[in-house]
Amino acid sequence: MTRAGDAELRGRNRIRSYRELVRFPLQYGLAARLFRDYARDSSAGNIMLLRHDVDHSLDNATMLAEIDAALGIASTFFMLPPGDYNKTENYYGRIVDGQIRHAPGFFERCRAIAAMGHEIGIHNDFVQLSYLTRRPIFDLLREELAAFAEAGIAVAGTAAHGSRFARDHDLVNYEIFHGAAAARKTVGRTVVADDWSATLHEIELGSLGLLYEAYRLPRNLDFSDSGSAVRLSSRLRQHKSLDFVADEDFRVFGDALAEIPEPRLVMLVHPCWWSAL
Based on DSSP, count helices (H) and strands (E) in the chain, helices before strands. Answer: 8, 17
How far, in Å, are 84, 89, 157, 212 from residue 167 at the CA level? 12, 21, 22, 22
The string of pLDDT tens digits covering residues 162-189 is: 999 999 999 999 999 999 999 999 999 9
The string of pLDDT tens digits covering residues 122-147 is: 999 999 999 999 999 999 999 999 99
Mean pLDDT of 88-93: 98
The string of pLDDT tens digits covering residues 218-238 is: 999 999 999 999 999 998 899
Q: What is the pLDDT of residue 235?
A: 87
Question: At 62, phi and psi to the nearest 5?
Answer: -65, -40
Task: Place 65 in a pLDDT band, splitting at 50, 70 and 90.
Answer: very high
Report whether pLDDT(35) > 90. Answer: yes
Rounded to the nearest 10 degrees, how much is the dihedral formed by the CA atoms of 255, 256, 259, 260?
-160
Mean pLDDT of 95-114: 98
Report whether pLDDT(4) > 60. Answer: no
Contact 218/263 with Cβ under 8 angstroms? Answer: no
CATH of 8-271, one of 1.10.540, 1.20.58, 3.20.20, 1.10.3470: 3.20.20
**Cα 173 to the center of its chain, rounded Å:** 12
Rounded Cα distance between 53 and 45, Å, is 23
Alpha helices in 41-184 (DSSP H): 58-70, 106-115, 126-133, 137-150, 164-168
Mean pLDDT of 15-34: 97
Q: What percent of the chain has pLDDT over 90?
A: 97
Report whether pLDDT(1) > 60. Answer: no
Residues in CB range of 195: below 8 A, 6 or more apart: 134
Report whether pLDDT(2) > 60. Answer: no
> Phi-psi category of 186—alpha, beta or left, where left has phi over 0 and alpha has psi -120 to 50?
beta
The string of pLDDT tens digits covering residues 200-218 is: 999 999 999 999 999 999 9
Contact 72/23 with Cβ under 8 angstroms? Answer: no
Please give the model's pTM, rounded to 2 decimal places.
0.96
